Amino acid sequence: MLSIDPATGKSKVVFSERAADRIWINLSNDYRFLKDGSLVWWSERDGFGHLWLYRPNRHHDSQWLQLTKGDWVVTGLVGVDEKAGRVIFTATRDDVLAPNIYALDLANPNRIERLGEPGWVHSASMDKAGQTLLVTRSSASQPPQVYIADAKGKRLAWVEENRLDARHPYAPFLANHRQPTFGTITAADGSELHWRMTTPVMEPGKRYPVFFQHYGGPTSQTVTKGWGGALEQAIVAKGFIFFQIDNRGSENRGVRFASTLYHAMGSVEVEDQKAGALFLKGLPTVDGSRIATYGWSYGGYMTIKMLQADPGLYAAGISGAPVTKWELYDTHYTERYLGDPGKVPQVYAKANALDDAGKITDPLLLIHGMADDNVVFENSSMLISRMQAQAVPFEMMLYPGYTHRVGGPKVGVHLWNTIFAFLDKHMPAKPAQ
């Protein structure tokens, strides 16, 4: 943090954030300067993302006062009411799967008040004076709602209630809506991994195929108690168990949990997704011979790495817009986690998804928008070349003119019909056992 004289450009260092060993500094906009010159600042310096108060004029005691602490994280600084001495923020204090809105008193930071309803996933923004909240929330049974609230969290008016009544577009499907269940398994290092599962109506004695969706990369959390969306329900309606698990390296679990991906992409997250697959195979309701794995972007990269690491574990894999060579991806993202390729080329060599292309023996559907300006198409073309050179069979569907998001009223239908046809081909339905 620099203090700069705008007239001369002369600067001085006010304070510095330093990463712990084998971890990175996460970018954050979660800070607020106060009128007295102090600063509310988000930091992971104690191992979890928390709020601190920096007081520049303190001499006899610490300039830093930790406002929040514990084995949970502040996910956002929402607002500050300086007159009342209140700081409003979102955090996982009560439930890592359901971030909520909280307020603390700067004069007594240990007194934290929850402002949102428990069990819902919340996000929020606030006016500059810290008087009015704009809240977005959802649950497993309610699509996102938006409302205006006062500084205490009391709802004043709906912006969008999104009521699931007879007029709602989801109304024809509501009777068949399936609620998810949640649980945990243990990773190899003892870490607790959260999973979410949504199932069809189960018939006694029948085993079901699994649509195993994943992302896996840093700064992302996929398992929450929020609205899963109509696509998840459509997949379940086709007779699949829908399953997700957040591997080590995912967001909102602290520095140590995240640091497992440092210089190690394509390793522990693949191992943890495998643990999820083995968990599924041990369930009496799962047909272990029909588990398909699906991911897009980092998740597409994960599909490739998962098929390479454990041939035969998955019945099929669907890889959308995968990174296959990390040197082709954005430096501001990649080098934060993998380091400088000029200094640690061995890290990049191990993380790429090209060298082991010949190890893929399970059915693979590769999908990519040919105008992708995020994960450029060369990632897929290089993988295609490697697999062809080693006589590895695979299927692909390319979308000319589409970028990283392949979607739309017709193209989205084409995309998912392609995926379902691939699954029907390689995981055909079985009669009830």
- DSSP assignment of 365-421, as one string? EEEEETT-TTTTTHHHHHHHHHHHHTT---EEEEETT--S---STTHHHHHHHHHHH
Could you tell me the two tokens for 399?
Answer: 């979308």
Helices (H), 52-129: none
Distance CA 338, CA 298 (A): 14
Strand partners, 42: 51
pLDDT at site 320: 98
Q: Which of 38, 250, 372, 380 is catalytic?
A: 372
Distance CA 302, CA 147 (A): 37
Q: Which of 297, 319, 362, 380 is catalytic?
A: 297
pLDDT at site 432: 53
DSSP state of 119: T
The Cα-based distances of 183 to 101, 148, 244, 269 in angstroms read: 24, 33, 11, 18
**Nearest residue to 169 via CA among 241, 254, 230, 211:** 230
The Cα-based distances of 75 to 202, 250, 251, 349 in angstroms read: 37, 13, 10, 33
pLDDT at site 60: 64
The Cα-based distances of 212 to 61, 243, 322 in angstroms read: 53, 5, 17
Left if phi > 0, otherwise alpha if psi is -120 to 50, otherwise beta: which for 205? left
CA 33 to chain centre: 29
CATH 2.120.10.30 in the chain: give the residue spans: 29-160
Active site residue 46: no
**Nearest residue to 367 via CA among 417, 308, 300, 304:** 300
- Angle, vertex CA 245, rays to CA 337 and CA 430, nearest 5: 135
Whether the model clears a pTM of 0.85, i.e. scores above it, the answer is yes
Task: pLDDT tens for the chain, 433 residues: list them.
Answer: 999 999 999 999 999 999 888 899 998 999 999 999 999 999 999 999 999 999 988 776 689 999 999 999 999 999 999 999 999 999 999 999 999 999 999 999 999 999 999 999 999 999 999 999 999 999 999 999 999 999 999 999 999 999 999 999 999 999 999 999 999 999 999 999 999 999 999 999 999 999 999 999 999 999 999 999 999 999 999 999 999 999 999 999 999 999 999 999 999 999 999 999 999 999 999 999 999 999 999 999 999 999 999 999 999 999 999 999 999 999 999 999 999 999 999 999 999 999 999 999 999 999 999 999 999 999 999 999 999 999 999 999 999 999 999 999 999 999 999 999 999 999 998 765 5
CATH 3.40.50.1820 in the chain: give the residue spans: 171-426
According to CATH, what is the number of the domain 29-160?
2.120.10.30
pLDDT at site 431: 61
Distance CA 208, CA 186 (A): 24
- DSSP assignment of 356-379, as one string? TGGG--S-EEEEEETT-TTTTTHH
DSSP state of 249: T
**Nearest residue to 429 via CA among 232, 208, 280:** 208
Active site residue 330: no
Q: For 384, list phi and psi in degrees, rounded to 5.
A: -55, -45
Instruction: Decide if 25 contacts 258 (C-beta within 8 A).
Output: no
pLDDT at site 133: 98
According to CATH, what is the number of the domain 171-426?
3.40.50.1820
Active site residue 297: yes
Q: Which of 94, 263, 356, 404 is catalytic?
A: 404
Return the amino acid letter for 340.
Answer: D
Distance CA 111, CA 84 (A): 14
